[in-house]
Chains A and B, each alone.
Chain A
C-alpha cells in the first residue's frame, strides 16, 4: 500500500516529521517497506526554455537547440520530435545524474556538434512511461525554477505492508485514522456531501442469488450519470496516482481507482450506452464468457459472482469489469457501482482465474460494510466535479448490513494475556480513539467499528490496546522453572540422527543437506516415482518427486565436486526419504557416498579407488553409533541400484534390513551421468530397535590373568562360499574358549586351485581356570577345522 505524505496529510493534521511518522507506522503494525522521495533524485533539474531549434547539419532527425535556463544559454543536440523553439522543458546539465538512463551527463559532441546538457523525457526522469518526446511544460512555467519545486515533486512516497487482517488500512484515510489513534495527530473528518440526484435511473439492478450463496453480493448501489465529459484527469489527480505507481487512464476510471486507494472502497463504472438492459448480480453459469478490462477472455467455471446485463456477464463482481461495457474517452452516460461482495467467493474466483486486482485485494479481506453509501456519495461528487453532467437518484438492491458486532472484554486480560499491567481506563481510552465504543462495566461490551471486521474476540481487543500502548512496553518475564529431566529433550530418533551425524563426520565424511525432492526419472531408478509422491506444482522438472533415497542427490553432488577437481569425495546426509505420503512413510535415513580415491595421494600410503568395503565400514560405523545391536547378519542381496556382485544388506534377523551398502550399479551411474566407481550406504534409523531400558551402570568386567593363545589357520574354500559363514562356524566350534576370530589374509591366484580362495584365520583362545596344554589347543584346532569343513567345505591348506 503506497501513499504520499501530502496525501496522508489530507486526513491527518500533524506536526510530526517523516521519520516520526515512519517510526509510528512500524510501531503500530503498519510495516514500512520503503520511503522514497522522487525529489531527491531530480533536485538538479530546472525549468528551461528552448530559444531556437535548427536542423543538425549532418543528421536529419537531430536538432541543434539553444536553451536558456534564465542565467545562461547552452547548445543542446536533441533527437526528440517535439524539440522546437518556444517550448518550456526540463533541463539537465553536465554532472547531473539521469535516473531513467542511469548515466551522468557530460559535455559531448554529437555528430560533430557540441552538446551541453539534456532535455528530458518523462521516462528518463522515471516520472512515467512516456518517451515519445521530451517533457513539454505549460507556457507559464517559470524559467530557471527548480523542476522539483515547479512540479511539486517534493512529496515522499511511503510504501507499507498491510497484513491480511488490516483491510481498514488499504485506504489512506484508514492509515490516518490509525496514526491519529496512536497519538500522532488529529484525524480530519471526511467531507461527505449527500447528492440527491435529479432523475430516476433507466437502468435498475437486482440481486438474484440462490439461498446457499446469498452472501455472494448482499448490497448493490447504483447511480446513473448523463452528459458527463470524460478525458484526462486533472494534474493533481494524475500526479497522485502516478506517485503510487498507478497509470492515469481517464477521469471516470481514475475516480474509482482514487477512491479505492483513498478510502479502501472499490467501485466500478459502466458505460451506460453499452449496457443492454438492467444489471443483475448473480452466479455465473459454467461456460459463460466475457472479455475483461485486461483484454483477456475469461470463461466461468460456474458459481462466480458476476454482474450481468441482458447480454451476459459484464465482469466478475468485486474483481474486474468487462471490456464491452467499459468507459472510454467518449463515454457520456455512466452507471456507477458500489457493491458488497463476499470475501470467500471473491478469493476463490480470483484464485481460480489468476486475477489479482485492487478490488479483489480489498473485497477478499472484507471492506467496511457500512461505508458503502458514503463511498457512493463521495464518488458521485467527484465524478460531477471532474466530468460535469447530471446524476440520478440512487438505485439499489439488497439491504444495509446489520453490523452491530460486539465483543466482551475483561480489562485484566491486558495483564493476563498481554503481560502489561495497564489501568482499565487507559485501555478504554485507546479503544475509544480507535473507534471502538465501550459499554457497561468490567467485563465490558465493546462495539467493534464496521471497518474492523478482523476484530472478532477478546484477544483482538487485547492486541488493539497493546498495539497502541506500544509493544515495546511489554515487560519481559521468565517462564517458571519446571522439573524437566535431563536428556528428555531429544527423542530417541533425534538422538540417533545426532549420533549418526557426529560419527560419520568423525570418520571423515562431510555432511550435506540436499533437497527432499528430485527428478522423477532419478527417483524411479531408486524404487521411487510413485504417483502419490509427485509434486503437482514443482519449481522445476528436476525437483518434481519426493525422494525415495538420498543416494542420487549425493551422487550428483559428488559429481559436481569431481567436476570442480576434487578426487577424494565423501559425503553423507541424515534426512528423510519417502516411501508413501503418510506420516509413517517418511523414514529417517543416514546415507553416504564415497567416490574417487579413498585418500589423498600421499608418500606414506598407497592410494586406491574406493570400494564396497569402504561403504560397509561406514554403514557399520553409523550403526554402531546409533546403538544397533552387534552381530548383524550380512546378506549379499541388496536393492537393484547397487552392483549385484558388490553390495549387501545388514539385517537384524532375516527380514529387518537395517542398512544396505555397495558399489552403485553402472547403469545407474550412466543414467545420472556420474563417473564411477561410487560406493554408498543407507542406514534406516527408524528400523533399529529401541535399546532395552537399563541403568547407566555397565555389567561387571571379568578378565583372566592367564595367558591367552593365538592360533592361525589357512583354509581353502570355494570362491563363492561366504567368509561370514566360515567365521560363524569357527566361532561356534568352541564357544567356551574362542574369544575372537579374525581374517588376516584373503588370497586367490597362483598356488590356489582354480575356483577356490585361501582364507587365513586367526583365533584368540582365552583359558578359563588354568592355562592350555598343547593337547587342549590341538583339540580346539581340530574342532575349528571340522566346523569349517562342515559349514563351507573349507579344508586346511597344506
Chain B
C-alpha cells in the first residue's frame, strides 16, 4: 500500500510537471483529485479499513491529497504567470506614436494684458469702466477742454463718421479719455476707475495702426494730488513689469485735459536689443498723465473747489510689446495663427496677484 501510494505520488508529480498549460493541469487535477480521481479513489478506500488501518493510512492519504493539491496550485501559478506574460507580450503597442493632443487655443496678448491691468488696479480699489467707440465730439474733445480750434485736435488724426442732418459728425474716439467724462457725469466721487478699450487714429506704420488700445485711469476725490499719481503709477508699473522697483522720470508736458500735466518715462536698458524695465541707463516714454483740468471737472458738473484728482492714459499694445517682446504692432491685428500661437496665452493663464501675472 505504501509503495502504491509512493508510486502514485511520483506519477502525479510527474504529470503536474509535464502539464504545459492550464487545461492540461486541470486534467491532471481531475484525474487525481476529481470524484473519480486516483487520489479520491484511495480516499474512498479509507471507509473500508479497520480503525487501526485507518489511523495509519488516514494521515498518509491526506498528506498525499494535500501534497497534490499544493503542487497543482504552485504549478497553476507558474502557468498563469506565463500565460499573462504571453498576453502582455502580445498586447504591446508602440508608445512612441504621437497622441492626439487636447485642443489648445490661445488668448490674444491684448486681452491678457487687459486682464493683468484689471487685476493690478482691482487691488488698488479701482473699477473697470467702459464707453462706446463711436463718440460725440463733446465727450471726445469739448468736455476734455479741447475746443474746436485747439491745436491738439490736429495732433489726433481723428476719424469722423458722415455728418448727420445737423452737420454734426460723430468721431471714432481718439483716446479712452471720453470714458473719464462719462464716468464723472454718471457717478459721484470718490471715483477710481480704469477704462481699457479700442481707440482710433488715422495713422499707419510699424508703430501706428488705425486702431489701437489704451487704458485710461481716473481718480477723483477731495485730497488726491500729484504724489498719489506718482505712487499709483509706480505701483502699477512695478506690478505690471513684475520687477522689484521701477524708477520713473516725470517730465512737464501738456494735455488739454490735465493741469499740471506730465509725461512719464520709466528707467530701462536696451542692452542686447531687448528692453528691460527696472534698471539701466535709458528712459522709455510710457504714458501721459496729470491732474484733471479744472475745465474738465466743470464740464462734468463737479465743483473744482471741492474735488480734484488725477488721470493717466497708456497704450496697451505698447505695454504688451514692452513686456512680451513683440516688435511689430501691425502683427497684433493680422490674426496669423503662427503669431497667435507664439505670443498668445493659454486659456488657464488667468493672471492673478496670488499666482503671478505671467507664467
Question: Which one of B1-9, B27-35, B231-239 is at the interface?
Answer: B231-239
Neighbouring B residues of A194 by C-beta, 8 Å? none
CB <8 Å contact, B251 and A471: yes
Asked if B166 CB lies within 8 Å of chain A CBs, one says: no
Query: What is the CB-to-nearest-CB distance from A353 to chain B, in angstroms, rounded to a whole number?
Result: 14
Neighbouring B residues of A538 by C-beta, 8 Å? 159
Neighbouring B residues of A163 by C-beta, 8 Å? 253-254
CB <8 Å contact, A489 and B162: no
CB <8 Å contact, A26 and B226: no
Asked if B319 CB lies within 8 Å of chain A CBs, one says: no
Asked if A615 CB lies within 8 Å of chain B CBs, one says: no
Query: What is the CB-to-nearest-CB distance from B291 to chain A, in angstroms, rounded to a whole number?
Result: 6
CB <8 Å contact, B149 and A472: no
A589 to B203, CA, bound (A): 26
Asked if B170 CB lies within 8 Å of chain A CBs, one says: yes
CB <8 Å contact, A512 and B108: yes
Q: Is the interface of B mostly helix, strand, loop or mixed?
A: mixed
B224-265 to A contact mask, C-beta < 8 Å, 1/0? 111111111011000000000000011111101001111100
CB <8 Å contact, A512 and B227: no
Query: What is the CB-to-nearest-CB distance from B258 to chain A, in angstroms, rounded to a whole number?
Result: 9
Neighbouring A residues of B249 by C-beta, 8 Å? 472
A503 to B111, CA, bound (A): 13
Q: Look across to chain B and name the residue whose beta carbon is closest to the beta carbon of A466.
A: B260
Query: What is the CB-to-nearest-CB distance from A497 to chain B, in angstroms, rounded to a whole number?
Result: 8
Tally of contact residues, B, Cβ under 8 A: 96
B105-137 to A contact mask, C-beta < 8 Å, 1/0? 111101100010010011011111011111000
CB <8 Å contact, B340 and A364: no
Asked if A788 CB lies within 8 Å of chain B CBs, one says: no
Question: Which one of A284-292, A392-400, A565-573, A651-659 is at the interface?
Answer: A565-573
A493 to B129, CA, bound (A): 11
Asked if A728 CB lies within 8 Å of chain B CBs, one says: no
Contact of A463 among B190, B227, B252, B336 (CB under 8 A): B252
Neighbouring B residues of A537 by C-beta, 8 Å? 159-160, 202
A535 to B121, CA, bound (A): 34
CB <8 Å contact, A511 and B250: no
A459 to B335, CA, bound (A): 46
Neighbouring A residues of B346 by C-beta, 8 Å? 505
CB <8 Å contact, A581 and B105: no
Chain A positions within 8 Å of B, measured between CB atoms, are 26-29, 31, 163-166, 343-344, 347-348, 351, 364-365, 415-420, 457, 459-460, 462-463, 466-467, 471-472, 474-479, 481-482, 484, 486, 488-491, 493-494, 498, 501-517, 531-539, 543, 546, 553-554, 557, 560-561, 564, 566, 569-571, 574-576, 578, 581-583, 585-586, 599, 602-605
Tell whether A417 pairs with B344 under 8 Å between CB atoms, given A482-B192, A533-B161, A571-B335.
Answer: no
Q: Look across to chain B and name the residue whose beta carbon is closest to the beta carbon of A561.
A: B337
Neighbouring B residues of A534 by C-beta, 8 Å? 161-162
A28 to B250, CA, bound (A): 10
Given A166-B254, A498-B115, A539-B204, 14 more A-B residue pairs with CB atoms under 8 Å apart are A29-B251, A347-B151, A419-B225, A419-B229, A460-B259, A471-B250, A494-B130, A511-B111, A511-B340, A533-B161, A536-B160, A538-B159, A554-B335, A602-B100
Q: List 5 A-B contacts (CB under 8 A).
A: A347-B150, A457-B294, A463-B252, A471-B252, A514-B335
Contact of B163 among A31, A502, A536 (CB under 8 A): A536
CB <8 Å contact, A475 and B107: no
Which residues of chain B from 57 to 111 have a CB within 8 Å of any chain A CB?
Answer: 97-100, 102-108, 110-111
Asked if B211 CB lies within 8 Å of chain A CBs, one says: yes
Neighbouring A residues of B336 by C-beta, 8 Å? 560-561, 564
A478 to B224, CA, bound (A): 10
Asked if B281 CB lies within 8 Å of chain A CBs, one says: no
Neighbouring B residues of A420 by C-beta, 8 Å? 226-227
Query: What is the CB-to-nearest-CB distance from B232 to chain A, in angstroms, rounded to a whole number?
Result: 6
A28 to B260, CA, bound (A): 12
Neighbouring A residues of B104 by C-beta, 8 Å? 508
